[in-house]
A and B are shown apart, each in its own frame.
Chain A
Amino acid sequence: MIHIFDFRDSHYIFDVGSGSLHVCDENTARYLAGKSDSLPEEDIQALENLRREGLLDKAEISVCPQKKKEAKALCLHISHDCNLRCAYCFADEGAYHAAREMMSFETAKAAIDFLLKESGDRRVLEVDFFGGEPLMNFEVLKETVAYAKEEGEKLGKKFLFTTTTNGLLLDEEKGAYLNEEMENVVLSLDGRPEVHDAVRRTVNGKGSFSAVIDNIKRFVASRGDKHYYVRGTYTAKNLDFSKDILFLADQGFENISMEPVVTSIPELAIREEHLPILEREYEILAEEYLRREREGRGFLFFHFNLDLEGGPCLEKRVSACGAGNEYFSVVPNGDLYPCHQFAGEENFKLGNVNEGIVRGDLREVFRTNCLFTRTKCKDCFCKFICSGGCNANNLHFAGDMNAPYEIGCRLMKKRVECAMHILAERKLRKSQENERKMR
Chain B
Amino acid sequence: MIKTIAKPAEKKITGCGECRSTCQSACKTSCTVGNQSCERITRESKIERK
Q: Please list the residues of chain A having a beta carbon within 8 angstroms of any beta carbon in chain B.
A: 12-13, 18-25, 28, 43, 46-47, 50, 55, 65, 70, 72-73, 75, 90, 122-124, 126, 128, 130, 160, 162, 164, 184, 186, 227, 229, 231, 257, 259, 262, 302-303, 305-317, 320-323, 326-327, 339-341, 382, 384-387, 389-393, 416, 420, 423-424, 427-428
In the assembled complex, the CB of B1 is this many whole angstroms from the nearest CB of chain A, namely 5
Nearest-CB residue, chain A, relative to B41: A310
Q: Are A24 and B27 in contact (CB under 8 A)?
A: no
Q: Are A22 and B3 in contact (CB under 8 A)?
A: yes
A43 to B3, CA, bound (A): 10
In the assembled complex, the CB of B37 is this many whole angstroms from the nearest CB of chain A, namely 5
Interface of A (DSSP majority class): mixed
In the assembled complex, the CB of A22 is this many whole angstroms from the nearest CB of chain B, namely 5
Q: Are B15 and A20 in contact (CB under 8 A)?
A: no
Among A50, A305, A317, A321, the one with the most B-chain Cβ atoms within 10 Å of its Cβ is: A321
In the assembled complex, the CB of B44 is this many whole angstroms from the nearest CB of chain A, namely 10
Q: Are A316 and B19 in contact (CB under 8 A)?
A: yes
Q: A65-B15, A128-B28, A308-B8 are in contact. Are A322 and B34 (CB under 8 A)?
A: no
A-B contact count (CB 8 A): 178
Q: A24-B2, A231-B29, A310-B42 are in contact. Are A389 and B24 (CB under 8 A)?
A: yes
A28 to B50, CA, bound (A): 42
Q: A25-B1, A65-B15, A315-B14 are in contact. Are A390 and B34 (CB under 8 A)?
A: no
Decide yes or no whether B11 CB sits under 8 A from chain A.
Answer: yes
- Chain B's interface size range is 35 or more
Nearest-CB residue, chain B, relative to A421: B5
Could you list 8 examples of A-B contacts with CB < 8 Å? A22-B4, A25-B2, A28-B1, A50-B4, A160-B20, A309-B9, A311-B34, A327-B23
Q: Please list the residues of chain B having a beta carbon within 8 angstroms of any beta carbon in chain A.
A: 1-9, 11, 13-15, 17-30, 32-38, 41-42, 45
A341 to B36, CA, bound (A): 21
In the assembled complex, the CB of A66 is this many whole angstroms from the nearest CB of chain B, namely 9
Q: Which 8 A-B pairs have the closest CB atoms?
A: A385-B34, A313-B14, A315-B15, A73-B21, A390-B24, A308-B6, A390-B25, A24-B2
Interface of B (DSSP majority class): loop
Nearest-CB residue, chain B, relative to A42: B1
Cβ-neighbour of B37 out of A50, A184, A311, A428 (below 8 A): A311
Contacts of A231 in B (CB 8 A): 29
Contacts of B22 in A (CB 8 A): 316, 320-322, 387
In the assembled complex, the CB of B17 is this many whole angstroms from the nearest CB of chain A, namely 6
| Given pairs A21-B6, A327-B23, A340-B25, 17 additional interface contacts (CB within 8 A) | A18-B8, A50-B4, A122-B17, A124-B18, A160-B20, A257-B29, A305-B35, A310-B42, A313-B14, A313-B15, A313-B38, A322-B21, A387-B24, A390-B24, A393-B24, A420-B5, A423-B5
